[in-house]
Every structure is written in C-alpha cells, then in structure tokens.
Amino acid sequence: MTTILLTCGETSGEQHASRLVREIRRRDPGCRVLALGGAELEAAGAEILFPLETYAVMGFGEVLAKLPSFLALERSLARRLGGGGIDLFVPVDYPGLNLRLARAARRSGVPVLYYISPQIWAWGGWRIRGMRRSVDLMAVILPFEEELYRRAGIPAVFAGHPMLEEIVSPGAPKTAPARPDAPFTVTLFPGSRIQEFRRIYPVLVDAARILHERFPGARFLAGLAPMIPESAAPVEAGMRGYFGVARDGVEALARSALALAVSGTVTLQTAISGTPMVVCYRTSPLNYRLGRLLVRVPHIAMPNVLAGRALVPELIQGEATPRRIADAAARLLGDPEEYRRVSAGLLDLRERLGGDGGVGRIADIALRMAGGESGTDAVRATAGGGRGAT
C-alpha cells in the first residue's frame, strides 16, 4: 500500500491540498495519505495526524509564542519520516516548517514533491540553495515560478493554478452598478486566521457602513474562513438589513460587484472571477517593520504582483482605514470605464494561470514518485505534450 505524508499550515494551502488528495485517491483508492491538516483534508480522505487549527498562526511574534509546540510538531513529523513506511513527502507551501521537514525527508531517503512553491520571489530568496538539496520536484502554480526554479537548478513543473478548476469565468468583464441605489453585492474577506480576522473585521464593517451611505443599493456579505467561528463576526442591529455573514463567501463572487479583501490567496480567487476589489492589510507594528525589511516586491496583492502594476487598490497598515477603503471602493463603483478596465485586466490574469493538466497531473506525478520514479521522469511520463521539468 502506498503511503504519502502531506503537511500544510494554513487554510488556503489546505484547500489546494484537499483537491490533490481527492485526485490521488481517485486514481489509487488504497493510497494512504497522512496529514497535518484540517477538516477539508479529512473530508478528502486524509488521515489527520495533527489538527491544522492548533498550528495555524501568522506573524513573527505569534510564531515565537507557540515555538515549543511547533518544535514538538516538527520532531514528531521528522520521526514519522525517518521511521520507514512513507513513500513520498508532499509539503504544501508553509516554508518555515516544510523546508526543514523536506531536509529530514531527504536524509531518510523519502522523495519530496513540494506542492505550491514558497514565495521566495517575494522574500526568502536565501532559502533556494537549501531547497536544491532537499526538494526532488517543485510543483508550482504561478507560471513565472517554473523558470525561477529552473535557473536555480531545481526541477520544476507548472500544471496550472488549481483555482481555475473551482471558479467559473464570467466570460466577459463585469459592469459597474448602473446607479448608487441599484441592488448589488459586495463580498468581504477578512482573513483566514483568527488574529488577522480580529484586526481587520471591524475595519471592513465600518468601511461597509460608510460605503452603504453612498451606495444604498449595496448589500454586504462577510465570508468566514473555516477556522473563524461565527461568534467572532457579530452584525450590528442597525446593519442587519444590508449586512450578512456566511461560510466561505467565495461562491458569492459570481454575483458580486466588488470585494473588500485582506491580502492573501482570496485576492487571486477574486481576480479569476473577474471581480474588482480593494485589498487591505494590517498586522502588528513588529510584524510590519520586519516584513518591510524582508519583502522584495512592490505590491502585496497577488493580482498586482502578476500584473506587474497596481491593477487593484492596495491599502496597507495605517492606510487601511474604513474611510480610505470605502473611498477606494466608491471610486471603482462610480467609474464604469475604470471598473470595466479592472475587471478585464483581472480576467487576463486568469488566462496566464492556465497550464497543462491541472491538479490531476500533479496527482499522477505524486503516485509515480511514490512508486520510485524520479521527479523528472514522472513529469516526462505525464507531459502529454506539455512542458516538462527542467
């Protein structure tokens, strides 16, 4: 029986990993997938060794506070990799833990298929030398990453972004609401981790209140990530006529005219739905200062990173106030030409993210590597005329 160990440390990574697990088990129902993960991975057929909600934190200070539990987790997973019986290790993003586990796997003779590259192009470029020694194959979901790893001497394969398989394209750019009192939906995405949620949710609620004064037709829906309890998102009595809360919220993008989103994976989900957005981000002063030292890209929102320009507004730290968020949203909604230009630019990004084979191809590669093939050979065997690992 094939046994794969998979580890992810946050909600968006788990969403991608759960689709991969489903594809693996569809091809090999007897395959056993052990995981650091949560409910989505468990529903996909993985056996949860360690629950994701215990370890899903972000920020330097937050990680430091939980350091003893992280060290215990790492030791337990390293022992599992070194104890025999694991045919393949699949780390998913989350580089702080996963790169160390990848080194442990290689020392134990377990091949490593790294799914969803750490964003070393944004920060952490110093890590790439160690990755050459610990990763057999890097499976990337952004097209420019394949060439980046090729230049660094790491075999890589781009098979398209998994989000394209879950979010349907509108087919044409969206159009702005005809009038301020015309009914339309604004979806809020306040983050997937409780500490960032508590920091930004009140800001987005206040921004919604201000925006509703200018656009009385607007209805607001706050999408809650899996690890955010509904009790953390109260709705004020005066807003209940136009403000609601729901699980996830991504499915509402098809009918949304605008999104107010915390910087993260959800901004890419919003982009490939063609929905204009305002992106904001707030963290602790310490995390912000350290981040400014480490981050090497001019934008924080993934749509802007991919476009190479400020396609959607970004408001960071002190700029991310309710008034400024509402002002940026009102400018988009009140300018039909600019609104359509932004929606068209986001749909162009969708075209760039298409690849050869999608998640199913990565599942084929994973099973071949678990069966003893090298990453490069597995890529070539599944190429189907597409690009191979280099």
Q: Are residues 262 and 292 in the same domain?
A: yes
Q: Are residues 193 and 49 in the same domain?
A: no
pLDDT at 254 over 60: yes
**How many domains is the chain partitioned into structurally?**
2
pLDDT band at 62 (very low <50, low <70, confident <90, very high): low
Is position 76 within any domain?
A: yes
Q: Are residues 362 and 337 in the same domain?
A: no
Its sign, for the CA torsion 304, 310, 311, 316, is positive
Q: Count the Cβ atoms, other than its own, within 10 Å of residue 97.
A: 19
The answer for residues whose C-beta is within 8 angstroms of residue 360's C-beta and 6 or more apart is 23
Task: For residues 155 and 136, give the distance between their C-alpha atoms in angstroms, rounded to a whole number.
Answer: 7
Q: Are residues 23 and 102 in the same domain?
A: yes
pLDDT at 387 over 50: no
pLDDT at site 294: 52
Is position 79 within any domain?
A: yes
Assigned token pair, 50? 């360690």
Say which residue, 364 or 52, is predicted with more confidence: 364
Query: Containing domain of residue 77, as a range?
Result: 3-160+355-381
Partners of 259 in the β-ladder:
187, 277
pLDDT at site 292: 59
Q: Are residues 56 and 109 in the same domain?
A: yes
To the nearest whole number, what is the mean pLDDT of the chain?
Answer: 90
Residue 263, helix vs strand vs coil: coil
Is position 166 within any domain?
A: no
Task: For residues 225 and 214, give the distance between their C-alpha atoms in angstroms, rounded to a whole number.
Answer: 28
pLDDT band at 121 (very low <50, low <70, confident <90, very high): low
3 membership: H or E segment, kind and range: strand 3-8
Q: Count the Cβ atoms, other than its own, within 10 Å of residue 122.
A: 15
Say which residue, 383 or 244, is predicted with more confidence: 244
Is position 389 within any domain?
A: no
Q: Are residues 28 and 152 in the same domain?
A: yes
Q: What percent of the chain has pLDDT over 70?
A: 89
Instruction: Write out pLDDT tens, residues 174-194.
Output: 999 999 999 999 999 999 888
pLDDT at site 204: 97
pLDDT band at 262 (very low <50, low <70, confident <90, very high): very high
Q: What is the CATH number of the domain that holds 44?
A: 3.40.50.2000
DSSP string, 101-159: HHHHHHHTT--BEEES---TTTS-GGGHHHHHHH-SEEEESSHHHHHHHHHTT--EEE-
Mean pLDDT of 31-47: 96
Instruction: Write out pLDDT tens, residues 296-338.
Output: 667 889 999 999 999 999 999 999 999 999 999 999 999 999 9
